[in-house]
Structures are given as structure tokens and as C-alpha cells.
Chains A and B, each alone.
Chain A
Amino acid sequence: MAITEDQVRHVAMLARLGLDDEQIASLGVELNDILVQVDRISALDLADIEPTAHAVAQVNVTRTDEVRPCLSREDALRNAPQQQDGAFLIPKFGA
């Protein structure tokens, strides 16, 4: 399995990472090494193995529909680089 530079660029775009050509090349190598490791699983005969959705063998874990305390707005906005009128202020984006 070999990952192409175009695929690395596509994944970088999806993750909104701005990478230069050098980083694309080196990350391509690293991603390939990871995929080679994962690829070893393909050598195993897994025909009779159920896919595992979760490492914990439990189902139907829910909570009751009861209100719990929220954060204060001050705390909620504590990490916001910018705020205005109690809202997170974000720079111009999109169109």
C-alpha cells in the first residue's frame, strides 16, 4: 500500500492543515509507514470475526432526561480568543 502525495494533500485539506511541499513529502512517508503496519492485519483470516464497534462489551448505556448544571457564560467563554455580546467572535470565513 502506498499513499500518494495527492492523497496527503486531500487529507490535509480535510483537516484544514496548511502544509508546505516538504511537509507533504515527509508526512507521506510517515503515513505510509503507519499504513504498512495496519496492512499486516490484512494477512489474517478474519472471515468469522465480528467487527468490534467498541472495546467495552456493553450496550444501551443512556442517561435519564434530567437537567444538570451548565457552565457559567464567563467560564464557557474563557478560552475564546475573542468575544462579543456573550458570543464567540470568529473572523470572516467562507464566501
Chain B
Amino acid sequence: MAKDRLAEVLTRWEAVIGLEIHTELTSLQTKMFCGCPVAFGGEPNTRVCPVCLGLPGALPVPNELAVEATVLAGLAIECDIARYSQFHRKNYFYPDMPKDYQISQYDVPFCLGGHLDVEVEGEGAKQRAERSGVTETDAGYVTRIGVTRIHLEEDTGKMIHVGGSEGRISGATHSLVDFNRAGTGLMELVSEPDIRTPEEARRFASALRLIFLSLGISDCSMEEGSMRVDANVSVRPWGQEAFGVKAEVKNMNSFKALHDALAHEIVRQADLLDGGGTVAQETRHWDVAAKKTSSLRGKEEAHDYRYFPEPDMVPFTFDDAYIDRVRTRMPELPTARRDRFMRDLGLPQHDATVLSGDLALAAFYEAAVAAAGVGRARQVSNWTLGEFSAFLNEAGLQADGAGIAPAALAALVALIEDGAISGKQAKDVFAEMAKGGGAPEAIVERLGLRQMSDAGELEAVVDRVLAANTGQVESYRAGKTGLMGYFVGAVMRETGGQANPAMVNELLARRLS
């Protein structure tokens, strides 16, 4: 899908996008309404009980931490927490749902009316900012995406369709149902239709993911399905108030897929309307291999879920004391952390953003700064984002599983800053650390890398070099100052590359003046 095509379409059509984001509460020990453990995968139907299998007479009891997690998520994005709330039954039939109803929430969800400010930089950001009257920043713009609600429900089981192509239901001869996932706590966030571009959608979803990760309520894996993003998309001519007919797009299991599916769907709808056609209100499936969306169901039945209050559970009331207690669990959120890195540690915005955008890396960095001292926060950041991140990417590791302790990186930075080794030597030391070579001090000793910083020792070498090159010294004094590099090189050769370059320069300059 050509990027230019989307840009062209968006000059004539305004896209209107709302997201529904389902997040499994994977950090909980147990499911939403029963004591079965929460885990990914495993042998089918080994984490099930009468409650999550929907056996007659089994009674659900809500997990207190699931309720807390949802309230915490609501507080993080400035929702109003309901004073009175309850669960409802949502009635529909599907083989992955054993009870033939899903316990969900209806008119009184736990959280209502929050918002998230999304920052967009890069190509086209300025034009978008001018067009839509959002807040411009140095690098792009900030747009506020409203959150309609967050409610709590239970996840369904999983099906494997047998006999069709690529596990799709069409053409399957039969299906296998695994209820291990059924009944897992599932938080659904519904955004307002405030999103205008695929990039905004991607940024909104990834910012939310980072917040939920910070709250420690889910592992938010789009690949494993613990975070699932569906999008409602429509287009309308610029300036038109009324919404166009929307399609719901599903099956995006990465942020890139979310972006690409939306870009494709916006262009598809615009092409339909440009050609005099109409958009059908339907659910469409994103096919990542074919890079297109296709209609999921031939015939769309009007939903009739017949919600009614869940009679097996009593309602909830949340008072200030409860909400305040949950609020005490609120960690520092990613944007606050970024701002602190800029304000207190003097990091540039880009570096602070990258660090705070990866929780493991940020924790590593903070620990390394604690060991190195705040005065070296910049240098530690440079090493964390430079050699260390390159190593993580290459090895496919997370910062907390890389076998390099934050204190070790701090020690390496200290060796450089104290003049014991040069920056170039430090890269060799780091390469050894990455191979499990031990503490940087020990590597320096072992490799004989210790930088020669003893003034007396260096002076002797400098004098020796100058005495052996009297001709060049005369030329230098006569004005050929370009010979400085020659002298530095000679001293470095003489010391096997271990001389402290800054000191060599200083000594030479003094001797030759």
C-alpha cells in the first residue's frame, strides 16, 4: 500500500477512527470469576473448572485484583471511577463461549470518560496539525484522544479450525475448542472517535500499552493476543459534520498491522465513495499477508445481546477511601518518567523518550545512574542507548535478561570518565562484557588496556618522541602546526595505544610552544 496513496486520499477525505482495545489481565494469578490459573498456551483444557466451563450451578465470584487493576487503569488515564457499578450478561452464541453469555458490563462500567494525549512527530505531522487545529509542538503535534469507558469482562476460549486453509473457519470440517483462556479477566477500553490518521491510532495504542505495562496489569502482547486492538473506521469529506458509514476492522496483531490495516481501509472506503459506491457497515478481517481487509461475514445480523444484570453477583460501590487506596498503587507513568529524565538528568528529549519507552531499559538505566552518580547520567544514557541497546537488539534480549548488571555499565562509564581507559578502549571492554567476560575492571586488567594517564610517565615518552624527531619539531615551530597529529601518533605507537589522548595533546602542546 503506497504511503503516497494514503496521503493523497487524506487531502480529500477525513478519516474518523475509534479503537476498542481488549487487554487480558495476565499479571493476575487467577481468572476473572474462578481460581483457575492464568497462563499462556499449555495443554488444552487443563486450566478449567465448573465456573469457567459454564457448568450448571457453578457460581462466579469476581477477582478483587481484577477490579483494582481496572480502576487503576481508569485512574491512569483520568477516567471517572463509577460510584456504583455492576456486571451484566451479554447473551450470544459462539462455540468458544461455554455459558452462551459473556459476563461483561453494560450501562454502569467501572470507568467512564478519560483521555490520553498522543504525541505525533515526523512526516506530515505539521500539515495535520494545521489542518485540524491540534496543538503544535517543535517536532509535530499533540492530540487529545477521548476514552469513552473501560469495563471489565471475561475472555473467551480458543478455537482451532481443522481442515480449512491456514486455520481459517471457512472450509473447515470441524473445530477444536480449548477453554484454558475462557474466563480470564479482560479489560475493554473504548475510545472516542477522535483519531484521524493510522499513525495517531498506532501511537494511541502503543502509549496505552506502555501505561498498562507500567501499571503491571498485563504483559500486553499483541502477538500472543493478550492485547487486541479493533478499529472502527469511516471517512467523510473535510468539513462535513456527520460521520460516514463505518466498518469494523479486526485481526491486527502488531502495531504495524494496525497502522497498515487502517491505511488500507481508509483508501478502500475513499475509493468506493469516489467511484460513486457506498461503504457497507460490516466487520472486516485484516489479512497481513495479502495486505488487505476482507468482509468477515456474508450476512451481518443486527446485534441483540439482551443485556441484563448478572444475577449471580451483587453490585459494586466505590467510595473515596477505596479509590484513594487504589491510587496509592499508581507508579510513575511513562511520560512523567520521560519528563523527569529530561528535567533532573538533563537528557535530550529523544533519549529520554527512547529510555522511558522501554520499561526494562528504563529500569536498567535508573539503576546504572544510581550506581554511577547523577553527574554522569548523560554518559550512562549514551552507553545505554548506544553499545548496550545495539547489543540487546543484536542478541534479541531485554535489558533485564542481558547478563550485564547496571552497576557494571556504571563502572565502565567511571573507567572512561576517570581517564583509566579511552572511549575507544571502552568499546573493546564492553564487547568482552557482552560475551560474559566479567566486570569491566577485570577485563581492563586482563587485556592490558589500562590507559596511561600518569603525567610523569607520559612526559618521558613525549620527550623521547620529540628528541627522535628534531627535524619535525623545527618544522612545527616554523609554522607547520599540522604536524601535531604526527607527534600524537608517534606517542600512541610508543605506548601501544594506551596513552591518554587528551593528556598527550596537552603535553605536546606545552613542550612545542
Contacts and interface: CB of A to CB of B under 8 A. Distances in A.
A95 B35 contact: no
A87 B44 CA distance: 6
Interface string B31-59: 00011110000011111111001000000
A53 B309 contact: yes
What is the interface of chain B mostly: helix, strand, loop, or mixed?
loop
A87 B177 contact: yes
Given A14-B306, A16-B93, A90 B177 contact: yes
SS class, residues of chain A in contact with chain B: loop
B43 A73 contact: yes
Nearest to B50: A71
A65 interface: yes
A65 B314 contact: no
A68 to B, nearest CB: 3
Contact of B314 (A59, A89, A93): A59
Contact of A63 (B64, B172, B178): B64
Interface residues on chain A, size class: 35 or more
Contacts of A10: 304
A54 B310 CA distance: 9
Given A14-B304, A56-B314, A68-B49, A63 B62 contact: yes
Contacts of B306: 14
A58 B63 CA distance: 17
Contacts of B179: 76, 88
A59 B317 contact: yes
B309 A91 contact: no
B298 interface: yes
A18 interface: no
Interface of B: 28-30, 34-37, 43-50, 53, 61-67, 86, 91, 93, 95, 160, 169-170, 172-179, 297-298, 304, 306, 309, 311, 313-317
- Return the 3 tightest CB-CB contacts between A and B, nearest first: A68-B35, A87-B176, A62-B64
Interface of A: 10, 14, 16, 53-54, 56, 58-71, 73, 76-77, 84-95
